Structure 1
Amino acid sequence: MREPDIPINRVDWLVVVIYFALVIIGWFNIYAAVYDSQAPQSMFDMSINSGQQLVRIGISVVLIILIMAADHRLFENLALPIYLVFLFILLLTPVFGKEVNGQVLSIGFGSFRIQPGEFAKFATALALAKVMERPTFDLAKTKNQLVAFGVLMLPIVLILLQPDTGTAMVYFSFLIMFYREGLPQRYYILGLGFIALTLLALGIENNLYLVGAIAILALILISIGKTSWKRTIAFSAIALLMIGYTYSIDWVVSKLPPHQQNRIMVLFNPDIDPLGVGWNVTQSKIAIGSGGFFGKGYLQGTQTKFDFVPEQHTDFIFCTLGEEFGWAGSFIVIGLFVALLYRLVVMAERQKTRFSRIYGYSVVSILFFHFMINISMTIGLFPVVGIPLPFFSYGGSSLWSFTMLLFIFVKMDASRSQQLGRIS
């Protein structure tokens, strides 16, 4: 049975307007990143990135129309089949995909290629929403935790086989959604503790200092008050595990590919090799800082014009914005992202089914993670991991996957009055 037409006023037009604003601003910045003042070309020229991106924007509009015209129940009914299809494609990618710089990220025919790891994000969001939609599904229970993490870990493992650490890392953003759905806080405290310990182990040149601090902390905890022998053993075991972990970090890092080791080194010491491994981050910060308050003007960026920042139209697109539009332009774009994320949270909370709410928070989690990590990467607060800025960076797979991710939720929200089900 065909779904009744949805009144136009039920679509959240604020989200739609912000989406197109980010896409259009991104398109102008992609042109600026490849603009050559000595041999200027039209931004509609199909031989340069801006022209190619315009075609991809057109395809995105077609995808939006198809999604909005579909029955909202289609996405829920096909959630698990879509997930399984993309798991299968991820499995085939290392075998039949195209290798670039030691990574096999894309699959396709001829010049048309897609990155399955990007599309698997919305497929995983749908699958998690489907698995967790039952009112009895409680993330405080170990059995349910294993199910949810099993669905999450399958695409991560397959993407790591490519290997694509940056994309695999994005999938951990679903932990934000898990928190909203009731995953106990102790897991987050434990995780943050290990992250802090990892950063300390990587940042301190001599691990003996860190080991000494852990040992002293353990002794203090053991000596406080009347401590039972069981608690003493527990504290001692934790201290030994922490000490062993600090030394194991060095071993793990030594097994990473050289370029990933270099990115970690640059995070803690950006000046270690400014003309080598630190070049990207150093030039990125120079480009953003040189823009000042209002920027140098559109197409006037010197860092951009002379290609000082590699991959400036993709991972480092924010540099172009910062140099040519300055603090003011950066503030506006960041404001648009924050407004989009806030609006999506509002939309997620007003859903009438748990499936839609979980999917909505998954959308928020993925977009927030990409936004936070990409900008942090360009200003030297996070290692360079190849994560695009949503709706902004050059690329078909990223734009199409983000578009599908977002507008499936826009469709769900517009259809919420027709949804039946309990939400808890």
Structure 2
Amino acid sequence: MIFLLFLGAAVFIFDLEKFRKALIITGAVFLTILFLLYQHEKMYVLIPAASAFVLFMILEFRKRNVKIVSLIVPLIIIAASFGYAASYVFENFLQPHQQERINVWLRPEKCDPRGSLYNILQSKMAIGSGGLQGKGFLQGEMTKLDYVPEQSTDFIFTSIGEEQGFIGIVGVVILFTILLTRCVIIAERANLEFIRNYAYGVAGILFFHFMFNIGMTMGLLPVIGIPLPFISKGGSSLIAFSIMIAVLIKMDMARYRAN
């Protein structure tokens, strides 16, 4: 994954100075992934790797006004490499319980509905039972009776779907869209490249957390224990996301003082 990340970035880097910057960023991502691997969070490495890769793509596309056609070749290389490496990683790198999560995602018909498939089935049923307007705050039977495990942390979106219904789900999506849009606006109007890079990085991290959390509760993505920013229970994640946003706001405020 790190090699593919570096390859995708190096395609657009031609001078030595930019190569050094890419090397530093890749090193930082590599250390982050090593730390996650040490903590036995192998599937969580998708977040920093994907965020860094998207950051490289956005910044280079923006600065160079690269045509869409020029992005096709590196993306094809990355997709082909991932396709060849996926089976090897699945068999030799993932733990049995992590392999079971992939099977639940791709081959649910072969999984035990009372075992590994239980969480996803209950989550889908709870979200679907919410209907248009939901059952009301704290009135969801499936979440209230603990049919859905981890409903206050990783599966908090299930509680929202059952209690607030489709309207509540759309409201959450709109709120996160506004937050991501504000991050992009701050990035585009930043005077310094560092602030622009940081703002895009924050947007990428928030987007992938949001996408993976919602996707895994509906069975669209594998369950990897990703919290929903600012909504899932957990002091450490709330503090981390709050600091990240606070630093971004502080950087944006400094732009006004500089002008």
Q: TM-score, normalised by structure 2?
A: 0.84
Q: Distance in 2 between matches of 1:334 and 1:341?
A: 10
Q: Does 1:269 align with 2:146?
A: no
Q: Distance in 2 between matches of 1:320 and 1:153?
A: 35
Give the CA RMSD over aligned residues.
1.9
How much has 1:178 moved relative to structure 2?
Answer: 1.0
Unmatched tracts of structure 1, length 5 or more: 1-137, 198-244
Aligned to 2:52: 174
Q: How many positions carry a matched residue from both structures?
A: 233
More helix by share: 2
Q: How does 1:203-352 map to 2 (within 5 A)?
A: 245=84, 249-255=86-92, 256-271=94-109, 272-352=111-191
- Map Cα deviations across residues 193-233 of structure 1 (whole Å, 9 max, x no partner): 444x3xxxxxxxxxxxxxxxxxxxxxxxxxxxxxxxxxxxx
Judging changes above 3 Å, is the alpha-carbon distance between structure 1 residues 354 and 307 closer, same or farther for their aligned structure 2 residues?
same
The letter of the residue matching 2:97 is: H
- Map Cα deviations across residues 359-385 of structure 1 (whole Å, 9 max, x no partner): 110110100010011100110011000
How much has 1:307 moved relative to structure 2?
Answer: 0.8
Judging changes above 3 Å, is the alpha-carbon distance between structure 1 residues 251 and 188 closer, same or farther for their aligned structure 2 residues?
closer
Aligned to 1:30: none
The answer to whether the Cα contact below 8 Å between 1:270 and 1:281 also exists between their aligned partners in 2 is no
Q: Distance in 2 between matches of 1:281 and 1:154?
A: 32
Percentage of matched positions with identical amino acids? 44
Greater C-alpha Rg: 1
Aligned to 1:398: 237
Q: Distance in 2 between matches of 1:166 and 1:252?
A: 11
The letter of the residue matching 1:254 is: E
Q: Does 1:149 align with 2:26?
A: yes
Aligned to 1:159: 36
How much has 1:419 moved relative to structure 2?
Answer: 4.1
Unmatched tracts of structure 2, length 5 or more: 1-11, 62-69
Q: Distance in 1 between matches of 2:104 and 2:173?
A: 25
Aligned to 1:49: none
Q: Distance in 1 between matches of 2:74 and 2:210?
A: 24
- Map Cα deviations across residues 103-136 of structure 1 (whole Å, 9 max, x no partner): xxxxxxxxxxxxxxxxxxxxxxxxxxxxxxxxxx
Judging changes above 3 Å, is the alpha-carbon distance between structure 1 residues 353 and 295 closer, same or farther for their aligned structure 2 residues?
same
The letter of the residue matching 1:261 is: Q
* Structure with bigger RCO (C-alpha 8 Å, 6+ apart): 1
Q: How does 1:54-203 map to 2 (within 5 A)?
A: 139-141=13-15, 143-144=19-20, 145-172=22-49, 173-182=51-60, 185=71, 186-195=73-82, 197=83
